[in-house]
Structure 1
């Protein structure tokens, strides 16, 4: 180039201004700071509306407590009759001979009164497939039948509305092998006369 624009020396002049890197770095730092402040503010708002994060969780944990409920009072004792006040008719509905007498003898040893000892009536004869059937008047449902049931727990219980007396029948079925063990029967009878209180149960309250 000639004239007044003649270039001298061994360096060419810059045709555009030098990049200002310092300004770009400052702008980047400012943007990062602004974004950080915005995110922190958002977290604070979330923390306020959700009840304090860890603090609320700790509060909930403290609020939920396991408490043991008190054991309920024992049920009122049932006035069940003693075996000596119960008359039992022992009837054999099976084809095995001598079973009624043998069972009656064992019941007598356990304190029961023994009434009739014979074969079952036609209504039950050879028709009882289970262990046995206990039959008594309606008044025996909460008295004599449960007491006799301690001696033969698996026996079915029935009431005879037409029965006038207070005796109960023990009808031996095909599944009968023997009466309950005496110790077990005595324990069941004691439980029947004096029920145990319901055990305490744990409850959670939040």
Structure 2
């Protein structure tokens, strides 16, 4: 070829394909975006069907929390009514209450001691149903058993008092002893308390 297009020398221009770095980068970015979107969508679906338990994720265990009920208290060894001597004292102005109440307690198995009017310390001074009075050792033994016969009565102890006898001091609010069936149920509940509500959580 002649003229200004004449080729001289022994080197020839090499023809190369244009590089496509830009297109390759675009493809890589697009692939990463697609995979990321698919993964996010999968996680959202899992949260929908599992409720998205954040507490389980936070602990890394993935297990639901469980609760344990507190064990029932051991049965109490309460004394039998036949081992309890009760003094029935009337602190009201109504006559005959002490003897009538003593007779009913005797039918329910209690041993009856003194039946009389209340001492000056309590006479006409008990406004409620009554007062159950005994030595300190009776607080968790004889008094609860006697108290099942007269709900609402005040329980008191005297540290200086000797012996095992307890007093039932009848007050102005007294009408009668509770029904025997109700008293028996109350005694059964005292002897075998039910389990307390669940309080402990295991996560």
TM-score, normalization by structure 1: 0.68
Give the distance between the partners of 1:106 and 1:123, measured in 2 at CA.
Answer: 25
**1:122, distance to aligned residue in structure 2 (A):** 0.8
Q: 1:150 aligns with which of 148, 151, 167?
A: 148
What residue number does 1:13 align with? Answer: none
> Is 2:71 aligned against 1:55?
no
Cross-structure match for 2:193: 195
Residues in 2 aligned to 1:53 and 1:205: alpha-carbon distance in whole angstroms:
28
* DSSP-derived class of the 1:60 partner: coil
Aligned to 2:123: 125
Structure 1 pair 94/202, CA: closer, same or farther in 2 (3 Å)? closer
Q: Which has the larger radius of gyration?
A: 1
Report the alpha carbon displacement of residue 192 of structure 1 after superposing the two structures with TM. Answer: 1.7
For 1:131 and 1:158, locate their aligned partners in 2 and report how far apart those are by CA, in whole Å: 14
1:160 shift after superposition = 0.9
Cα displacement (A) at 1:205:
6.7
**In the alignment, does 2:184 pair up with 1:186?**
yes
Aligned residue in 1 for 2:26: none
**Maintained 8 Å contact 2:79/2:145:** yes
Which residue is 1:135 aligned to? 133
> Are 1:90 and 2:88 counterparts?
yes
**Correspondent of 1:114 among 109, 112, 115:** 112
Task: Report the alpha carbon displacement of residue 151 of structure 1 after superposing the two structures with TM.
Answer: 0.4
Q: Which runs of 5+ in 1 are unaligned?
A: 1-36
RMSD: 3.3
CA contact (8 A) 1:66 1:203 kept: no
Return the alpha-carbon distance in structure 2 between the equivalents of residues 67 and 163 of structure 1.
50
Which residue of the partner structure matches residue 19 of structure 2?
none
Q: Is 1:172 the counterpart of 2:163 in the alignment?
A: no
Matched residues, number: 165
Q: Write the deviation string for residues 48-69 of structure 1: whole angstroms up to 9, x where unpaired.
A: 6xx9444346363485746453
